Amino acid sequence: MPQKHLPRELVPGTTGIRIAGLLLGILLFAGTAWGAEEQTQKTPPPQAEPGSTAKAYFRVSMVSEKILGPQEQYDEKAFEILKNTLRCLLTTRWVLVPALRDPEINQLPIVKRQKDAVEWLKENLSVTYPGNAEVMEMAFTAPEAKDAVAIVNAVADAFQREVVEVELQERRERFDELDRVYNDAEQKVRRLRSNLRNLAERFGLAVDTESNLLRQRLLLEELTALNRQLTPMDLQLTQIRVDLASQKAVREAETTVVPMEIECLDYGRNDPLLRRLAEEIALQKMLQEDVKSSVAPGSNTPETRKSTASLGRIQRQYAERIAHLQDKIKQKKLQEIDLKIKQLEASIDQLEACRARFEKEIQQIREQAEQLGTTSIEVEMYRSDLKNQLKTLQNLAAERDRLRAELRAPSRIMLLEKAELPTE
């Protein structure tokens, strides 16, 4: 007889199969969830940033802006050389040592921990040109944001003082010196015009004979050549005297300056005694900490007194060695300045001796001319000298105007933005 179709749940054996499948699914789900939880527990949390980076920006113009005359043409190769030069200057001791002299910087714990702070700063300071634009970026990373900001701004200030402002100050000094030379030349032109006018009114320009005229012309040409050589010689003497006065002022200032400890450490890098004392201080501090840890706090035991006395003795020796190195550094600087002063004084003596020979020769030629029994040659000499002085005055005026325009033009290197602490 035909069988009736029963519901699936009533078919013999099917109920057990469904229950087994359900249990297997529950076990698999639980295993997957447990594995995911265990994996979550084993996965380490994301690491924090290793430090904070502070950045400062300078604008470096592709060309120098001019107020007068044609504008400078852009030269890609010259601009690349300028950028590389600025990058090198920023990482030299010329800039980094003044930055580290800032009391706010050399007292930072991150700086005091460095054996060679200058080399450490050089290796960690980044100087780039983002997007190859006219912007120079200085960046420094430190564990503390305030330390990074302070260090970057100190380097930016040192770069501004030691490079940008020094170049501008040199231009100002050159302009002042050129302005003084121009005023002296202008006074000389006025005197020549006055003397020439007086001579022309007092004497005639006629000569005795054609032979005398020829001799006078030859003497005039020789006098003109000699006088033409005196002008650059006088300018050179003036410049050397200015340099000599500057070096003497620098020497006077150096006598009162005490070299900083960081300079002594840099100078005494190869000093075995200083290195040994520094190592002994570090070792003695470790021993002192060991002694303190082995006794009750505040105890005044023979061991602690002995450790403190030993550390004090070594620290006094270290301070004496630093003082000795400071004296050596100062003496070395003074010797270098004295050598420059002697060289400048020797150059002045040589130029003055040469000028005296020229003046003696000029005087001899004048005496020969006077023997001709005429004053016309002196008048012509004044005219020739006046012509040369007017030409020199014209050149000085053009150079002075050019320098004045450069001083008024915006600087090619300009601080755009200092580093700042991130806002909360």
Query: Cβ(57)–Cβ(152) under 8 Å?
Result: no
Q: Are residues 100 and 148 in the same domain?
A: yes
Task: Please check whether residue 423 lies inside any domain of the structure.
Answer: no
Residue 124: domain span = 52-173+411-417
List all residues 6 or more positions away from 407 whose beta carbon is below 8 Å from its beta carbon: 168, 171, 172, 175
Question: pLDDT truncated to tens, each residue of the chain (424 aa)?
Answer: 344 333 443 334 443 434 344 444 444 444 444 344 444 333 343 333 457 999 999 998 887 766 555 566 777 888 888 889 998 988 888 899 998 898 888 889 999 899 999 999 999 999 999 988 889 999 999 999 999 999 999 999 999 888 888 777 777 777 788 788 878 888 887 887 777 677 666 654 433 344 445 566 767 777 788 777 778 888 888 888 888 888 888 878 777 777 776 777 776 677 788 788 888 888 888 887 877 777 777 677 787 788 788 888 888 888 888 888 878 887 888 888 889 889 989 999 998 898 888 888 888 877 776 655 455 556 667 677 778 888 888 888 877 777 776 666 667 788 888 888 876 5
Domain count for the chain: 2
Dist CA 200 CA 192 (whole Å) = 12
Are 131 and 274 in a shared domain? no
Residues 62 and 167 in one domain: yes
Residues 222 and 363 in one domain: yes
Encode pLDDT of 321-361 as tens digits.
888 887 888 788 888 888 988 998 999 999 889 888 888 88
Residue 189 in domain? no
Residues 6+ apart with CB under 8 A from 59: 134, 135, 136, 413, 414, 415, 416
For residue 283, give Cα distances in angstroms to 278, 312, 367: 9, 13, 85
| Domain annotation covers residue 319 | yes
Q: Are residues 363 and 294 in the same domain?
A: yes
Contact status, residue 177 vs residue 396, Cβ threshold 8 Å? no
pLDDT at 36: 41
For residues 354 and 239, membership in a common domain is answered with yes
For residues 239 and 101, state if they share a domain.
Answer: no
Decide if 117 contacts 106 (C-beta within 8 A): yes
Would you state the pLDDT for residue 282?
A: 85
CATH code of the domain covering residue 105 = 3.30.70.1130
Torsions phi, psi for 412 (to 5 deg): -70, -25
Whether residue 258 is found in the same domain as residue 164: no
Report how far residue 142's alpha carbon sits from residue 421's, in angstroms, rounded to the nearest whole number. 13
Q: Is residue 181 domain-resident? A: no
Q: At what angle do helices 76-90 and 145-159 cross, to 10 degrees?
A: 120
Q: Are residues 94 and 230 in the same domain?
A: no
pLDDT of residue 26: 40
- 361: which 2 tokens? 């020769």
- C-alpha span between 178 and 167 (Å, rounded): 16
At 57, phi and psi to the nearest 5? -130, 140
Q: Is 301 contained in some domain?
A: yes
* pLDDT reported for residue 50: 58
Domain for residue 330, yes or no? yes
Whole-model pTM: value is: 0.43
What letter would DSSP give residue 108? S
Looking at the structure, tell me whether residues 323 and 226 fall in a common domain.
yes
- Type of residue at 363: Q
Is residue 221 included in any domain, yes or no? yes
Output the pLDDT for position 106.
86
Answer yes or no: is 208 within a domain. Answer: no
Same-domain pairing of 368 and 233: yes
Q: What is the pLDDT of residues 183-206, one digit of tens each?
A: 888 888 788 777 767 766 665 443
Q: Are 157 and 269 within one domain?
A: no
